[in-house]
Amino acid sequence: MKLHPKVIAFLSLLIVQIFVALVYKFSQTNGQYSYSTTSAVTLTEFVKLLISFYLLVGSVLVERRISNTSTPKESFRRNLLNKLRMTPNLIYQTFGLAVLYCVNNQLLFYLYRHTDIATVTLFKSITPFLTA
């Protein structure tokens, strides 16, 4: 049985959301986090940045192998710059989304501190459905 990519994305995101909810809830001691929630979000986002950079470089290398029209160094640099080309408007939009994402993450820590895990997970589980 072959699953549609949207179903796979939905299930993957659902599993991630449940795992995150459990980690957030069980990392509390007496209703407080023993670590800085801002630092936790920052480290998580840094790891995501490293993964994204790895995937970007990988896709550039694949394109270089397919095109094979110039020297490896020139081809890699040209493909990487083409993928990273951003207009000022796109930079502002990306910055706005990043700020909203940061606020969302901090709000989640607050919600997990003051509500039960089932309620937050129930409402949060709709996110993968909307995303997929």
Residues 22-67 have pLDDT tens digits of 887 788 888 787 888 778 777 877 888 888 888 777 777 766 666 6
Which residue's entry shows tokens 């179903």?
7
Asked whether the predicted pLDDT for residue 109 surpasses 80, the reply is no
Looking at the chain, list the stretches that DSSP marks H as alpha helix, in order from N- to C-terminal side. Answer: 5-26, 37-67, 72-84, 88-114, 117-124, 126-131
Q: What angle do CA 73, 66, 76 make, to 5 degrees?
A: 20
Asked if residues 130 and 45 have their Cβ atoms less than 8 Å apart, the reply is no
Q: Which of 126, 109, 122, 87 lies closest to 25, judged by CA? A: 109
Per-residue pLDDT, 104: 81
**Segment 101-121 mean pLDDT:** 77
pLDDT in tens, 59-103: 777 666 666 655 666 666 666 667 677 777 877 888 888 888 888
Distance of CA 23 to the CA centre of its chain: 17
Structure tokens at 40: 């936790």
Asked if residues 88 and 111 have their Cβ atoms less than 8 Å apart, the reply is no
